[in-house]
Structures are given as structure tokens and as C-alpha cells.
Amino acid sequence: MNDYERVALIIRYLDEHHVEQPDLNALAQRVALSPFHFHRLFSKWAGVTPKGFLQCLTAAHARTLLREGKSVLETALDAGLSGPGRLHDLCINLEAASPGELKSGGSGCELRYGFASTPFGDWLAAESQRGVCHLSFIDAGESAAAVAVLQDEWPKARLIRDNTVAANLSSVVFDASRRNRSRRALSALVRGTPFQVRVWRALLRVPPGALVSYGQLAALVGSPRAARAVGSAVGSNPLAFLIPCHRVIRETGVISDYRWGQTRKRSIIAWESARPRLTSERA
């Protein structure tokens, strides 16, 4: 059991027993660790204590982030930003595959792919000469099925196993200190309809620590009545975490389904919203 699996187990437990307000000892017992080791592991993973992290998991916290989302987006747009709205976040150049490339299914293209660990479990990553083209979180026993999905997306491409691709991407995406040193924009190549690509580009404008509703996202892409179509595009996101579809929730503040698991979505939202808190505590 890796660190994320232990944290996910605790989050699922808290979803069912939060009314009981379980203490540190009870949580540590759930993952067969001493209170000291559990507190240290959790704080290292989340960046804040278990108690502080729990506050980021509540529905009330999600609703607050949702209300803040509109003003955050407006600020980003007013500043002319085409990517994420915070300097410490990723800069991503998102390029759409051409109709000819879509039809060819990746013929004549080499994709280097591999597996690596992230703060949210393992993921499968693939990269072409033009950029990152696939990212998906995987659980135990899903490796072969995940590769089959990748091959189905690019049926005529040649797949070459190279775990360093996934490891390097994990380091760049999740290690803020490395991002800030390089400041190099990541290139990404996606397969999708023009509408889907428009939605995915809009998602890049939602900064970490902010959330938007499907309706707000629909308005952002100029189709305020197309919330359902926007939801479908969000669910078809080919680049887990990189295109932050996890930052989209329902108007009520409910954290809805996620392609890679609702528990993982709740974990990512709370983890991201804990980052500014950690920074302010250190200031």
C-alpha cells in the first residue's frame, strides 16, 4: 500500500464517519500505523496536518471555493492569461491534432509511454514528438487495461515503453520547485472535437485552489446553455491533472463523479487548496 492508497482509505473512511469526528489514534489504526508515523506521513503528503486537511474536504469549503471561482477567472481573463492564472502553476501549450492526424490514428508516430508514482497514485503517461498526449491515473492491477486504452486512442502509433517519460512528467507537474526553476512551458497534443478542445483550453484558466461549476465553464466557452455538453467534454479529458477537470463541480458544491475516481478528485481538490495555506503558514 503506497502513501496515496493510505490517504485515500482515510478519506473514504472520513466520508462515512465525519460526524463522529475520529481522532488521530483512530485514523492511524485504520492504516496500521502509529499516530506519530501517520501524522508525519499525512503531513508530508498533504502539506498540512490531518486536521487542517479535513477542513479542505468539507462541502462548505468546496462551496466557498466555487463562489471564489468566478472572480478568479475574471481576474485571469482580464490579465490576458491564456493559461493558468498563477505564476507558480504550470504553463501549458495545448495543441489539437489536425483532422488528418485524427483520421490517421497516429500512423507513422512514435509514442513513448511509461508508469510512475504521483501524490495521487500511479499514472500512465505518453508523449509524442509534439508533446504529452496521454495521462491517466491507474489503480493496482489496471496497467494492462490502461495501455490498451492508450493504444485504442492512437491505434496506428508505435508504442515504446520508457518509464523515464512518466517519471520526468510527474516530477515537473508535482514538484513546484522544479517548475519554478525551469519555467519551461509544457507542450501537449490532444485528440478531440473543436468544442472539446475549447473546453479543455478554458479549464487551463482555472487556477489551483479555485473551482468552477459546469454552468460557469459553459459561459466561459461562450455556450452558457451547453452545460451538459461541457460536462461530456470534461469527462473526456485525455490528460489527467494537467488539464484540471478535477476543478469542475456541481452548482451546489457537490463534488461529482471523476473519470479516475471520486475519492481521488476530492483528494486533489483538498491537496491543491492546502498549498496556499501551507505557503501562508510559512510566511
What residues are annotated to the active site? Answer: 245
Show the 3-state SS of the chain.
Answer: CCHHHHHHHHHHHHHHHHHHCCCHHHHHHHCCCCHHHHHHHHHHHHCCCHHHHHHCCCHHHHHHHHHHHHHHHHHHHHCCCCCCCCCCCCCEEEEECCHHHHHHCCCCCEEEEEEEEEECEEEEEEEECCEEEEEEEECCCCHHHHHHHHHHHCCCCEEEECHHHHHHHHHHHHCHHHHHHHCCCEEEEECCCHHHHHHHHHHCCCCCCCCEEHHHHHHHCCCCCCHHHHHHHHHCCCECCCCCHHHEECCCCCCCCCCCCHHHHHHHHHHHHHHHHHHHHHC
